Amino acid sequence: MPPLSLSLQFARFPAAAEHRAALPRHRVARYVRSALGEDVQAAEITVRIVDTDEGQQLNRDFRGKDYATNVLTFDYSGAPVVAADLVLCAPVVAREAAELGKPLAEHYAHLLVHGALHAQGWDHETGDEDAEAMEARETEILAALGIAGPYAK
C-alpha cells in the first residue's frame, strides 16, 4: 500500500457528531487506500465533511451547479503522487443513505471510494462506457471491503 497523508475535517453543524461517529479515521484511510491504483506511489488527501450551505456554495462556485451534492473532488495532481480534497455534504449523504436503506457508514465508504477514483482521473460523466467502468471498479473495491455493491438493480 502506498503511503497516505490524510487530513480528516468536520465542519460545525448540528449533526456533526453522528457523521464523525460514522467516519473513524482508520476507516476513512482504509476506504481511500483501497481506491488507490497500482500506479500511485503516495497520496495526500483531505476529506472534509460539510453542511448543506458549504456544500452548495462549493458546488456553485466550482461546478456552476447551485445545489449541494454528495461528494466533490478537487484533484491537484495524479499518479504517482495523488493530491486531492474530497468534500462530502453530510445532510445529502444522510438523506441518500436513508433513501437507499443503507447504513450511513456504508454510503460514506462508497462516496469516499468514488471521490478517490475521481482524484485519479476516473470520470463517469464522459460517457456510458466510462460510467460503466467506474461503477464496476467501485463495486469491486467495495466488495473487497465487505460492502455490497452500490449499483445493484
Residue 114 labeled ligand binder: yes
Using alpha carbons only, give the angle 16, 150, 80 rounded to the nearest 5 degrees: 80
Q: Is 118 annotated as a binding residue?
A: yes
Q: What are phi and psi of 47, to 5 degrees?
A: -115, 120
Is 19 within any annotated ligand binding site? no
Rounded (10°) CA dihedral 35, 1, 26, 44: -70
How far apart are the C-alpha atoms of 118 and 35, rounded to whole Å? Answer: 10
Question: What is the Cα–Cα distance from 138 to 14, expressed in whole angstroms?
Answer: 30
Assigned C-alpha cell, 16? 456533526
Return binding residues.
114, 118, 124
Return binding residues for Zn(2+).
114, 118, 124
